[in-house]
Chains A and B, each alone.
Chain A
């Protein structure tokens, strides 16, 4: 009794004895090794399979006859030994490689496909359950909002379908996993050890040269196996990194892209990266610039892992490269344009004299507005607030206070509003949009610790500088809340909230002045 196997040769169905099948399989595998360097290997194999099918059909007495070893032998006699298929004689394949059963290759299984046969192919390759693989695809697509579908499509494109019988056999070959890679390394190592060990007892009289050659041959095998292991390992890491980044980028594309299309949410935080174009275009630009290199990284990692992948085609390469270069150019140009827009500074200055008797003590303090912000003692705060008329304003505490002595015995306040722009005029125009206030009440100079302006200036170079010119004979009292807004030469923390007088070109606490005077 003999077990039979069903096979499909070039679309024709055959029952074949198990031993005859093994012989046929070996034969086709051997031919494939001989044709390994041939450009249209698959096509040639298909032609050969078609001819074999024809020979089997001719030799069969009736339709349901089983193909046996004799028929396979007859076929080989007609077709010739595998060596006959080789056209060029540059190098004979070594006896090892013809016996060597090629390790499992990744193909798409188009006989068991739901969509592209990717999962069924991975099932053979990884030895994982097909249902589990499909479940992982569906679940990951669900959790990544469909982003992993892109990865599936890439795999669909680059993994070839298993068309010929030999490709189908390759697809089902030895699984590629750590144990098998380890086995390969061990096998080649023991071969190496045999060769090296052979020097000692095998052929004593042989020249050392041949021993050395064998040593390096063996060493080469081991290094090759280690190299394969390293490249696969690198491939796995690159595959994980690139696919995770791609999925992340796709999620970024879908979430930010759609939100900004419908103008939901507050995008003030993104203002910094704004290129002055609609957000959704900008999101797509950033996405493509980042995603295309990672797409290539993904392809590279797949190529490292699977030797039999198809190319995505010259046109796709050129298109992708073109798109990427275009995106980089657009982003750079817009970035430079944006930079030029803020390259000029412009300022608006207002000076006014205030009335105060020289006998009065001048108190100076910052005047916070709790309506807008509670961090009243901090500079460089920026946020969008609503003003009295309920319109949006940019609130900024980028205010700086300077103290100088007045040269004409008058208390004066100089307010400098600074703006930005692509020209000095524009910068000045923008500076004039800054609203800043201060007032003198009962000898107390109250300086607002903030200014308001239009929300478009968020994260831009807008600020207010105040210089207070104080008459020399005035006694002053600086409030502690000035500390963060002004830096005064030779001033200590204890000099705030203290009465100060002017002497020897600096403001000093009164008690130290009196002390000096009493000494004199």
Chain B
């Protein structure tokens, strides 16, 4: 088993949750979403996000509108749909549970090790 694969899998699972969270505050276009994710060091390269966004859109969790931009091509502004909001609140709960569980288990292990 390669460490890179495991890392990537862990990161990708969380990534969906984070994208939805970023969009829960306000609609954003890809570069803005990327900036937030990159600043938190969750994402190193941009490529991963495009297939993810399209999948979320196909799952009807996201919708988008076109907006003209100065200089470049028109931009896709993504926003949460009602389904997306529901999905996100459920994910938040799961995340809290997971977070609690993981912290508890890993900290116990640490104390055992010591």
Whether chains A and B associate is: yes
Residues of A within 8 A of B (CB): 9-12, 31, 35, 38-40, 43-44, 47-48, 50-51, 53-54, 57-58, 77-82, 84-87, 89
**A78–B73 touching, CB < 8 Å:** no
Q: Does B106 contact A (CB under 8 A)?
A: no
Which of B4-12, B18-26, B84-92, B96-104 interfaces with chain A? B4-12
Closest to B15 in A: A87
Tell me the minimal C-beta distance from B27 to chain A in angstroms: 16
Chain B residue contacts of A80, Cβ below 8 A: 44-48
How many Å lie between the Cα of A49 and that of B45 in the bound state?
A: 15
- Find the A residue at minimum CB distance from B46: A79
B30 at the interface (CB under 8 A from A): yes
Whether A38 contacts B45 by the Cβ 8 Å rule is no
Point out the residue from B31, B47, B52 that lies within 8 Å of A48, measured CB to CB.
B47
- In the assembled complex, the Cα of A44 lies from the Cα of B50 at a distance in Å of 6
Closest residue of chain B to A82 (Cβ to Cβ) is B47
A51 (CB) vs chain B CBs: closest residue: B30
Nearest residue in B to A56 (C-beta to C-beta)?
A: B72
B22-45, CB < 8 A from A: 30-31, 44-45
* Cross-chain contact B73 with A85 (CB below 8 angstroms): no
A89–B8 touching, CB < 8 Å: yes
8 Å CB contact of A51 from B9, B50, B52? B50
Q: Are A44 and B54 in contact (CB under 8 A)?
A: yes
Please indicate the chain A residues that have their CB under 8 angstroms from the CB of B74 in the complex: 11, 50
Interface check B58, CB cutoff 8 A: yes
B12 / chain A contacts, CB cutoff of 8 Å: 87
What chain A residues lie within 8 Å of B9 (beta carbons)?
Answer: 89
Q: Distance in Å from the Cβ of A453 to the closest Cβ of chain B?
A: 71
Are A47's CB and B54's CB within 8 A? yes
Task: Give which listed residue, A12, A35, A43, A79, contacts B45 with CB less than 8 A.
Answer: A79
B60 in contact (CB, < 8 A): no
B49 to chain A, nearest CB (A): 9
Q: Are B58 and A40 in contact (CB under 8 A)?
A: yes
Contacts of A50 in B (CB 8 A): 73-76
For B50, the chain A residues whose CB sits under 8 A away are 44, 47-48, 51, 85
CB–CB B72/A54 < 8 A: yes
- Tell which of A43, A53, A54, A86 touches B31, judged by Cβ atoms closer than 8 Å: A54
The reply to whether B73 and A11 contact each other, CB–CB distance below 8 Å, is yes
Q: B72 touches which one: A44, A53, A78, A86 (CB < 8 A)?
A: A53
A16 shortest CB reach to chain B, Å:
16
A493: shortest Cβ distance to chain B, in Å?
87
A54 touching B73, Cβ below 8 Å: yes
Contact: B53 with A81, CB < 8 Å?
no
Question: Which among A47, A54, A89 is the interface contact of B53 at CB below 8 angstroms?
Answer: A47
Residue of B nearest to A49 (CB): B73
Provide the bound-state CA to CA distance between A247 and B5, in Å: 56
B54 x A40 contact (CB < 8 A): yes
Q: Are B30 and A84 in touch, CB under 8 angstroms?
A: no
The smallest beta-carbon distance between A131 and chain B, in angstroms, is: 34
Q: Which of B12, B30, B54 counts the most chain A CB atoms within 10 A?
A: B54
Q: How far is the CA of A411 from the CA of B74 in the complex (A)?
A: 106
* CB atoms of A47 and B46 under 8 A apart: no
Cβ of A12 and Cβ of B72 under 8 Å apart? yes
| B46-A78 in contact (CB<8A) | yes
Are B48 and A85 interface neighbours, CB within 8 A? yes
